[in-house]
Structure 1
Amino acid sequence: MTEYPQLSALLAACHWIGEKGWCPATGGNMSLRLDEQQCLVTESGKDKGSLSEQDFLLVEMAANHVPSGRTPSAETGLHTLIYRLYPQVGAILHTHSVNATVLSRVEKSQALVLQGFEMQKTLSGQSSHLDSVSIPIFDNDQDIPALAARVAAFAEVTPLQYGFLVRGHGLYCWGTQVAQARRHLEGLEFLFQCELQRRLLEAK
């Protein structure tokens, strides 16, 4: 698959994510847009820290069809939804970090609002700690088409920007290219850690 630009960058990002412990066991899934019709999605049951090019499967986005017949991530439908909604999105990273998972449960509202942190500027379009960043939270569901439908309904009213949380599950984030998706992931993870620590200290 070396003919696909950006795949080596995505592999490097996956290995980095594995080293961070943000995708324990075989959790998480990653993808890369190829064009308007196709993307690459990680195969189900693979350790994200030791992926190879062969662990990415070609998926036809309109119907989530995999020509190879192999089994992609169970959450492929969320990846293809984001690609269909936002043509500018080039890569998606879905992780299961402790901070994202815990915060998504501690926060009882429908969004995690971050404000006052300088590192908000790691997110495209953010220029000041005085602004607020709202990360939507969707209740978890093993029925991925149903979850995707709820995400799509939300996006019709309020466009998604950097990503969203699934309650008790983890974070989906993206970017125009792998480098931007990786920056958004690292920035959000730092912000999640700060926010969780802030709440723990204020609760004492």
Structure 2
Amino acid sequence: MDGETTRDLAWEHAAASIIDAGRRLDRRGWVPATAGNISVRLADGRIAITRSGGHKGYLTHEHVIEIDIDGCAVRAGDRPSAETGLHTQVYGRFPQIGAVLHGHSVAATVLSRATDGDALYLEGYELQKAFAGQTTHLARLRLPVFDNDQDIARLARRIEPELHDCPMGYVLRGHGVYAWGEDMPTALARHEALEFLLDCELQHRKLR
């Protein structure tokens, strides 16, 4: 198998993982309408990301495009997600990260709007142990909340100082979560764990 064929197969695998992830997130109701975006960094440094505007439950290979580490489309005419800069920020900061997910769940949207603070705190949930470094449900975990901003470069600058301390990911207020991992299965597991915890917290608050 020559190098070009291997390269093409790697891209096909990355695109397929994005398509599968989109369907999984859609089944959970976390990427309604055209919301959300998904990306994968290949071993050779290429980045595959969802094209702007597509429904993540109905992705095809045509909806996955290549960008560089600066977030620019490699092929003329391709339009990456408006929030591409938040994906490339994670890749630029953490060389081991291979996948980034962004969804718009009801729980993340409502809870982030219900707090005026810069974080949500989660404590007492067994699934907290899904995140790196966590060994007990007794820990009190801080999930950063950033005010949403249509100026992605400005938003990224605001996130940058705290990015090193986001083991669960982070939330954009009134918008949704960002989660990542060394590969797509890990990113999906962390995203799902975070969404579960946020949903639990939302339901718990309703009972107070």
Normalised TM-score (structure 2): 0.90
Matched, 1:58 2:70: no
Q: Distance in 2 between matches of 1:7 and 1:115?
A: 36
Aligned residue for 1:3, secondary structure, equals helix
Cα offset, 1:55, TM superposition = 1.0
Partner of 1:201: 207
Cα offset, 1:148, TM superposition = 0.6
Aligned residue for 2:10, secondary structure, equals coil
Aligned residue for 2:141, secondary structure, equals strand
Percent identity over the alignment is: 42
Matched, 1:130 2:148: no
Cα offset, 1:67, TM superposition = 1.7
Q: Distance in 2 between matches of 1:130 and 1:53?
A: 43
Match of 1:168 among 142, 167, 174: 174
Q: Distance in 2 between matches of 1:36 and 1:166?
A: 30
Match of 1:11 among 4, 7, 19: 19
Q: Is the 8 A contact 1:162 1:175 kept in 2?
A: no
Q: Distance in 1 between matches of 2:191 and 2:74?
A: 30
Partner of 1:190: 196
- Structure (1/2) with the larger helix percentage: 2
Letter in structure 1 aligned against 2:99: A
Q: Is the 8 A contact 1:114 1:132 kept in 2?
A: yes
Aligned residue for 2:197, secondary structure, equals helix
Partner of 1:179: 185
Matched, 1:143 2:151: yes
Cα offset, 1:162, TM superposition = 2.7
Q: Is the 8 A contact 2:89 2:156 kept in 1?
A: yes
Q: Is the 8 A contact 1:36 1:87 kept in 2?
A: no
Q: How does 1:62-141 map to 2 (within 5 A)?
A: 63-69=70-76, 70-141=78-149
Cα offset, 1:35, TM superposition = 4.2
Q: Distance in 2 between matches of 1:96 and 1:2?
A: 31
Between Structure 1 and Structure 2, how many residues are aligned?
199
Stretches of structure 2 that go unaligned for 5 or more consecutive residues are 1-7
Letter in structure 2 aligned against 1:140: N
Q: How does 1:10-29 map to 2 (within 5 A)?
A: 10-29=18-37
- Which portions of structure 1, spanning 4 or more consecutive aligned residues, are displaced by more than 6 angstroms? none
Q: Distance in 1 between matches of 2:14 and 2:177?
A: 21
Cα offset, 1:8, TM superposition = 2.4
Q: Distance in 2 between matches of 1:2 and 1:107?
A: 45
Summarize deviations over 1:91-124 as a string: whole Å, max 9, x none. Answer: 0110001011111111221111100011112223
Cα 1:36/1:131, change in 2 over 3 Å: farther
Q: Distance in 1 between matches of 2:130 and 2:14?
A: 21
Summarize deviations over 1:62-111 as a string: whole Å, max 9, x none. Answer: x3221212100000000000100111111011000101111111122111
Summarize deviations over 1:138-162 as a string: whole Å, max 9, x none. Answer: 000010100011111333xx53223
Letter in structure 2 aligned against 1:10: I
